[in-house]
Amino acid sequence: MSSNDAKELEHQRIFLSNVVVSRKRNLIWGRRWRPVDIKMASGMFFLHVLALFAPSTFSWSVFWSAFLVYVFTGMLGISICYHRLLAHHSLKLPKWMEYTCAYLGVHALQRDPIYWVSIHRYHHQYVDTEKDPHSPTYGFWFSHMGWLFDSGYIMEKYQERNNVEDLKSQAFYRFIKRTYMWHIFGFGALVYAWGGFPYFVWIMGVRMSCFHHITFFVNSVCHIWGKRAWNTDDLSRNNWWVAMVTFGEGWHNNHHAFEYSARHGLEWWQIDFSWYLISFLKSVGLATNVKLPTQAHKLKKSFASDCKFK
């Protein structure tokens, strides 16, 4: 490699990391904005503008109400149900509880379960390659949220979304997919009717905006900054502060090493609130078929063998 090539790569390297932006994708200009992209961007803009009213509407009652909804929709809905249960089959819950948790996940405003699970499974199938839905090899902002506003990118990569047949076969998930936005609008109307504008600002604006970025950190930060504990052929990292705000999802290198595992914080000191709740559900007989990595699996993924990424 010539000195000029090395210098160019250095300029493309993401700040304070060894991750190189090796692919290009126009985030705003020079590409086609489809109606769904405009709607997605408009919705995000509205939520962030709504969150700007947080200081003038603050009270401890609205704060704790928003925090409670954040925990239910984020931990039970997204982390445990959407991610560990539906996407990876890391555990089983009774159907009534699975559907309840999935419905909580709907109100995190991260799309319906069929869409979310499909994208996440593609992420694991093609992680940090050209077909990854949100790899930082396209840049930090693309992996963080730029991909959300580029439906053309998803259509180019995946002509047929045929990796979620297990969910498509269930009437509940098909119904949620067809009626998704009505549930969001209905919940927003109930919040406003119950608590007025302050509760609407905090539960719909602040809570959703914060949890969006918190979730996006797993796609961006946890593939750029952090520690690698396991030999995986990707850029995944364990990031403790992301884990703290995502109920344990930030132990991302652990997750990519053992994607079937219901436990992401594999060490005793790796805080994983979702795993603590799963353990409780298991102890009372509600969570079954809870999967964990064996010692043999850990040995296979250890750095005893050569690692491509350091």
DSSP structure class, residue 14? P
Q: Which two tokens stand for residue 86?
A: 């539906």
**Number of domains comprising the chain:** 1
Mean pLDDT score, 39-67: 97
Asked if residue 5 is part of any domain, the answer here is no
Can you tell me the distance from the alpha carbon of 230 to that of 253, in angstroms, rounded to the nearest whole number?
7
Q: Is the distance from CB of 69 to CB of 107 less than 8 angstroms?
A: yes
Rounded to the nearest angstrom, the gap between the alpha carbon of residue 238 and the centroid of all alpha carbons in its chain is 15
Mean pLDDT of 62-73: 98
- Interval 2-35: pLDDT, tens: 455 444 444 588 988 989 998 888 888 888 899 9
| Residue 165 predicted with pLDDT over 60 | yes
Asked if the structure places residue 40 within a domain, the reply is no
Q: What is the pLDDT of residue 56?
A: 98
Decide if 205 is inside a domain.
yes
Note whether 117 and 87 are within 8 A (CB). yes
Residue at 175 is within a domain: yes
Instruction: Kindly indicate the confidence band of residue 1, based on its pLDDT and cuts at 50, 70 and 90.
Output: very low
Amino acid at 213: H
Phi, psi (rounded to 5 degrees) for 89: 55, 40
At 272 the three-state DSSP class reads: coil
In angstroms, the Cα distances linking 27 to 13, 37, 107, 114, 146 are 18, 11, 27, 25, 6
Q: Is residue 91 assigned to a domain?
A: yes
Confidence check: pLDDT of 138 > 80: yes
Flag whether 194 is in a domain: yes
- Which of 110-114, 161-165, 181-185 is predicted least confidently? 161-165
Residue 2: other Cβ atoms inside 10 A: 7
- Coil, strand, or helix at residue 213? helix
- Assigned domain for 142 exists: yes
What does the alpha-carbon distance between residue 84 and residue 78 come to, in Å, rounded to a whole number? 8
**CA atoms of 13 and 66, how far apart (whole Å):** 38
The closest of 244, 230, 236, 215 to 300, measured between CA atoms, is 230
Count CB-CB contacts under 10 A for residue 114: 21
What pLDDT does residue 305 have? Answer: 55
| In-domain check, residue 238 | yes
Q: How far apart are CA 234 and CA 267, in angstroms?
A: 21
Q: Could you tell me the two tokens for 59? A: 């009270």
Task: Quote the domain boundaries for residue 135.
Answer: 53-300
